[in-house]
Amino acid sequence: LQLGKALAYTCYQMYARTNTGLAAETVRFPTTANSVDFDSRSQHNILRPETVESFFILHYLTKDPVYREWGWEVFESIEKCCRTHIAYASLRNVNDFHKGHDDRMESFFPAETLKYLYLLQDPDLHLDILNTHVFNTEAHPLRILD
């Protein structure tokens, strides 16, 4: 669990350290002896779910409110930077909002990213992801049959 928490914190920092509050699609961790940080390899963000999925699972397991706070920050950044007049769109540059959007919204964004953000904030969640429910690859919760 400690390793999972540390990885989630690193993912959170990938969001928090950009001008938009959204992480770059890829980052690089330099391998030099004195390097302890990361840098962005590509500047775009296509609204992937993996980080907020991790926040959801860690909050479920630990009940630590920090994961809800981080998820809320991600949601606010998505609302501020990726919402358009019709839907949501990928961001071309996480450090320069003025470079605009790509004219696309990946299907995993509403199916997974928004769903995990919603479940993360739901105070009355009635899913038992350890014993009675499982998520499929598109984040749909399914009850485990006996």
Catalytic residue among 25, 73, 112, 138: 25
**120, 88, 117, 91: which is closest to 20 by C-alpha?**
91
- Using DSSP, state whether 132 is helix, strand or coil: coil
How many whole angstroms separate alpha carbon 82 and alpha carbon 101? 7
- Using DSSP, state whether 142 is helix, strand or coil: strand
Q: What is the DSSP string of 13-65?
A: HHHHTSSSS---SEEE---STT----EEEE--B---SHHHHHHHHHHHHH--T
How many whole angstroms separate alpha carbon 47 and alpha carbon 134? 23
Tokens of 21: 């509050």
25 flagged as catalytic: yes
Kindly list the catalytic residues.
25
